[in-house]
Amino acid sequence: MIPQEIIRRKRDGKVLTGDEIAAFIAALTKEEISEGQAAAFAMAVFFRGMSRDETVALTLAMRDSGTVLNWDALDRPVADKHSTGGVGDNVSLMLAPIVAACGLAVPMISGRGLGHTGGTLDKLQSIPGYNVMPDEVLFRKVVREVGCAIIGQTSDLAPADRRLYGIRDVTATVESVPLITASILSKKLAAGLGSLVLDVKVGNGAFMESPEEAEALARSLVEVANGAGVKTAALLTDMNQPLADAAGNALEIVNCLDFLAGLKAGTRLEAVALAEAAEMLVQAGVASNLAEAEENARLALSSGEAMERFARMVHALGGPADFCERPDSYLERAPVRLRVPAPRDGYLAACETRAIGLAVVELGGGRKRAADPIDHRVGISELLPLGRQVSEGEPIAMVHARTKEDAERIAEDIARFYTISDAPVAAAPVILKRIG
């Protein structure tokens, strides 16, 4: 295999064979390819694209660059979900225990915050003692005994993806649909899944802001995952406002517990969580249709079984045994809390969702550099949904900050991020399309 010949062929718009792609990724993993060659390959793919078969081959090569888990010994279907990320998107936290209570095994490999979006691992590390990087023995034990475990990507899962992603990040090739597809799916397929549900966000708080871009990515993910042998469907969901009414790590853990306790009924968050749960149960074959699957998910919530699964997962991975009973005893609170008043009467018509996510980063709840520490206490809660009628001075959000100065500055920003109209605003649907 001569790396520059593969780069040249892709540069010139040729279709690469599976063997060529596998050889290139194997050499990349062994560091037999320079960063310059990897960057050139990424740029060639960025401009020339890849066919479905090429993208499947790239995904499988990256999957096979490290350990691929096998769950054949389990007596339950193995399934997972992936979200492309947004603000207040903490669905994974409650979704895993819901579907585990319905009979699935969920080995969920999650990530940290990226840009303006929150990371599931950062949220879970708000819980004292929770181990997001257990060894494989403990990971398997928790999945087997609890039904779900949410952890981070270990060093031996899809190592080629880590190297290629780091190069893409500094060469302006992140947005390539084939490269995004292979990056997402290589990690998921390495977890040994039988089925997968994807949540592709679209809107001003998503990485894909236009419906056309989001649908193109969703179709690529679905086609490639199914081509790789994993039954997969995708939902396009709206991210033109925060999904939950809280954004920030510990605040979203509280939101998760409230959801599992049945306190978020009728919200956009519930609509997405139940829709994804239903898709997972149907894809995995434990429910015959979406209506039956959603009813099963609702029963898992109302019976308390989903909350019990979450509590068992937390304890099994090192967290307090009574965390769900006494979260206030374990979750740290920000020293300063400040309400954000509505600047005038009217209806909440629009918001700058990405800016709200970046406000959490400014408070210290996200990273500006990879090595930055996270303050799990800070964030924004009590965010009102679009369409809500408000009066001047009425709180539309609550800022949780380290200092009074931070709180005042961010509160002023949040008030500016919302557009208030004189006329009522129709609520936009949260689930826009299903692809599968």
Q: Band the pLDDT of 114: cuts 50, 70, 90.
A: low
Specify the pLDDT at position 112: 65
Q: Do 34 and 203 form a contact (C-beta atoms < 8 A)? A: no
Specify the pLDDT at position 377: 96
Domain boundaries 333-421, CATH class: alpha beta
pTM: 0.89
Predicted confidence (pLDDT) at residue 417 exceeds the cutoff of 60: yes
Which residue is catalytic, options 63, 76, 123, 188?
188
Q: Band the pLDDT of 6: cuts 50, 70, 90.
A: very high
Which residue is catalytic, options 83, 110, 173, 195?
83
Give me the sheet containing 336-341, strands edge to edge. Answer: 336-341, 395-401, 379-381
Predicted confidence (pLDDT) at residue 174 exceeds the cutoff of 80: no
Tokens encoding 288: 């015959």
Which residue is catalytic, options 81, 112, 201, 315?
81
Predicted confidence (pLDDT) at residue 381 exceeds the cutoff of 80: yes
Which residue is catalytic, options 82, 112, 123, 231?
82
80 is catalytic: yes
Better pLDDT: 119 or 284: 284
Tokens encoding 133: 């990087």
188 is catalytic: yes
CATH topology match: 3-49 vs 79-316: no
Specify the pLDDT at position 123: 93
- Looking at the DSSP bridge assignments, the partners of residue 418 are 351
Helix (H) or strand (E) holding 97: helix 91-101
Report how far residue 367's alpha carbon sits from residue 316's, in angstroms, rounded to the nearest whole number.
Answer: 28
126 is catalytic: no
Per-domain residue ranges of the chain: 3-49, 79-316, 333-421
187 is catalytic: yes
Classify residue 211 as exposed, middle or buried by CB count within 10 Å of its CB (0-12, 13-18, 19+): middle
Domain 79-316, CATH among 3.40.30.10, 3.40.140.10, 3.40.1030.10, 3.30.428.10? 3.40.1030.10
Encoded amino acid at 380, one letter: I
Give the end-to-end CA distance of the chain in Å, rounded to a whole number: 36
Per-residue pLDDT of 311-367, as tens digits, reads 999 999 999 999 999 999 999 999 999 999 999 999 999 999 999 999 999 999 887
Which residue is catalytic, options 183, 195, 237, 353?
183
Q: Do 381 and 251 form a contact (C-beta atoms < 8 A)? A: yes
Which residue is catalytic, options 29, 59, 63, 80?
80
116 is catalytic: no
Predicted confidence (pLDDT) at residue 207 exceeds the cutoff of 90: no
Range 360-385 average pLDDT: 88
Which residue is catalytic, options 116, 187, 231, 376?
187
Which residue is catalytic, options 120, 126, 154, 176?
120
Predicted confidence (pLDDT) at residue 115 exceeds the cutoff of 70: no
SS3 246: coil
Report how far residue 418's alpha carbon sits from residue 394's, in angstroms, rounded to the nearest whole number.
Answer: 13
Q: Please give the DSSP secondary-structure letter assigned to residue 199.
A: E
Specify the pLDDT at position 370: 62
Q: How far is CA 57 from CA 35, 116, 140, 232, in A?
A: 21, 31, 28, 17
Specify the pLDDT at position 202: 95
Predicted confidence (pLDDT) at residue 308 exceeds the cutoff of 80: yes
Q: Band the pLDDT of 110: cuts 50, 70, 90.
A: confident
Tokens encoding 14: 């040729």
Range 151-176 average pLDDT: 83
Q: Yes or no: is domain 3-49 CATH 1.10.287.3510? A: no
* Interstrand relation of 395-401 and 336-341 (parallel, antiparallel or unpaired): antiparallel
Range 286-294 average pLDDT: 96
Report how far residue 360's alpha carbon sits from residue 365's, in angstroms, rounded to the nearest whole number.
Answer: 5
Report how far residue 76's alpha carbon sits from residue 69's, in angstroms, rounded to the nearest whole number.
Answer: 15
Per-residue pLDDT of 215-265, as tens digits, reads 999 999 999 999 888 999 999 999 999 999 999 999 999 999 999 999 999
183 is catalytic: yes
Which residue is catalytic, options 76, 168, 354, 377?
168
Per-residue pLDDT of 117-142, as tens digits, reads 668 889 999 999 999 999 999 999 99
Q: What is the mean pLDDT of the chain?
A: 93
120 is catalytic: yes
400 is catalytic: no
SS3 339: strand
Report how far residue 107's alpha carbon sits from residue 97's, in angstroms, rounded to the nearest whole number.
Answer: 11
Specify the pLDDT at position 42: 95
Q: Band the pLDDT of 170: cuts 50, 70, 90.
A: confident
Of 158-162, 371-375, 383-387, the range with the lowest mean pLDDT is 371-375
Q: Do 87 and 358 form a contact (C-beta atoms < 8 A)? A: no
Per-residue pLDDT of 31-80, as tens digits, reads 999 999 999 999 999 999 999 999 999 999 999 999 999 999 899 999 99
Q: Band the pLDDT of 270: cuts 50, 70, 90.
A: very high
Specify the pLDDT at position 155: 76
Report how far residue 223's alpha carbon sits from residue 181's, in angstroms, rounded to the nearest whole number.
Answer: 10
